[in-house]
Structure 1
Amino acid sequence: MTALHTPPAHSTELANAAEGDEAHIVTTPGGRRWLAVLRLATGFIFLWAFLDKTFGLGYATPPERAWISGGTPSQGFLNSDSVIGPLKPFFAAIASPVSDVLFMVAMLAIGLAVILGVGLRISAVVGSLLMIAMYLAEWPFGANAASTNPLVDYHVIYALSLIVIAALAAGDTWGFGRRWKAFPFVQRNRWLV
């Protein structure tokens, strides 16, 4: 079983934690590696969405609707039949070229940061807000919902994964988390951890 907050005396994880950090350390090597796997997989979900929408790789986005071919990634979604429920007018109102750029920058930045293991706190906040917005846009409550579970769908799982990854410093294993936290700029701006 993975121990949280009570590392053994020989734990190198606690010894390597930055001074002033909360002791959100998973102390078993297997636990750290599985967190790293979760981090890499979650980051790749965001990076893949960016790549597919940018280049139209034919999975969720056909080549003719690629961003580089003039497609509109967020506008296409926000003005589609996928957006249902009482918040549909709000989501239609925010659909614009600006929302396309913000969405794509967020997908790329979250994907790269999570894969690299840096900036996990801000990635968790921005990624979770994005996932909650998409969850609400698809309005999982009621007969017309696309989701088969109105409370916990994949958007919620992705948001929770981002939070766990950040809270447990998953970027320190197989990532650049420790190096990132050592930069003076990051030391002065702890929200960047």
Structure 2
Amino acid sequence: MASSTAPAPTRPAAPTTRSGATATADATAARPAVPSHRAVRISLAALRALLAWTFLWPFLDKLFGLGFATPSEKSVLNGGSPTEGFLFHGTKGPFAHAFDSVAGAWWLDLLFMLGLLGVGLAFALGIGMRAATAACALMMASMWLVTLQPATNPITDDHWMIALAAVVLTVCRAGDHFGLGAAWRRTPLVRRFGLLA
């Protein structure tokens, strides 16, 4: 008698699961892109340093009266106002006198000097760049508003470029390149309050 062999039972196909490698790749893709090319990293670091100095220099000049934009007798340390001269004599256009009522006010002078120092240090160190970018954009928009129209262009001027440079540096995580950005983001404070990154 011929023997018959029963067909082996077919195992149900295992459900398809996403591997750890795929999940990691998806998670990586979801994070902001960080440039990896050395030339790009160096360029971003240089731009970050340049932007930091753009804010730190006027802070130092106005604080000590170094004789460039601010003479010694009009320095903050000698009782001068960092906002009064600009708001009264350096503005033009339809919003030239929008802030005349607060020009030279102590609280505006304080906010302006803290803004220059805070934005400058944030970009110099590569930390807190999100908040610094928001402050930078607000300061640049205010300055642009009271100088309409710019002398060399009917719409845009360097205030726009400074604000956009700050945004680009933050999006590209330029603080990670020759800065403290990566270490700063790992601190418990920044993990809790993302705006400080």
Judge conservation of contact 1:75–1:99 (CA < 8 Å) in 2. Answer: no
Helix, strand or coil at the partner of 2:155: coil
Helix, strand or coil at the partner of 1:88: coil
Judge conservation of contact 1:75–1:97 (CA < 8 Å) in 2. Answer: no
Picking from 148, 157, 166, the partner of 1:153 is 157
Give 1:120's aligned residue. Answer: 129
Judge conservation of contact 2:49–2:123 (CA < 8 Å) in 1. Answer: yes
- Higher Rg: 2
Q: 2:173 and 2:112 mapped to 1: Cα distance?
A: 25
Q: CA deviation at 1:22?
A: 2.4
What stretches of structure 1 of length at least 5 have no aligned partner? Answer: 1-14
Name the % identity: 39
Indicate the larger mover: 92-101 or 173-182. Answer: 92-101
Question: Cα gap change, 1:67/1:23 in structure 2, threshold over 3 Å: closer, same or farther?
Answer: same
Picking from 115, 118, 130, the partner of 1:109 is 118
What stretches of structure 2 of length at least 5 have no aligned partner? Answer: 1-24
Tell me the amino acid that sits aligned with residue 139 of structure 1.
L
Give 2:180's aligned residue. Answer: 176
Q: 1:20 and 1:61 mapped to 2: Cα distance?
A: 48
Q: CA deviation at 1:60?
A: 1.1
Judge conservation of contact 1:124–1:159 (CA < 8 Å) in 2. Answer: yes
- The CA RMSD measured in Å over matched residues stands at 2.0
Give 1:30's aligned residue. Answer: 39
Q: 1:108 and 1:177 mapped to 2: Cα distance?
A: 18
Give aligned pairs, total. 172
Q: CA deviation at 1:108?
A: 0.4
Helix, strand or coil at the partner of 1:83: coil
Runs of 4+ in structure 1 over 6 Å off: 18-21
Picking from 42, 57, 60, the partner of 2:51 is 42
> TM-score with structure 1 length normalisation?
0.83
Tell me the amino acid that sits aligned with residue 174 of structure 1.
F
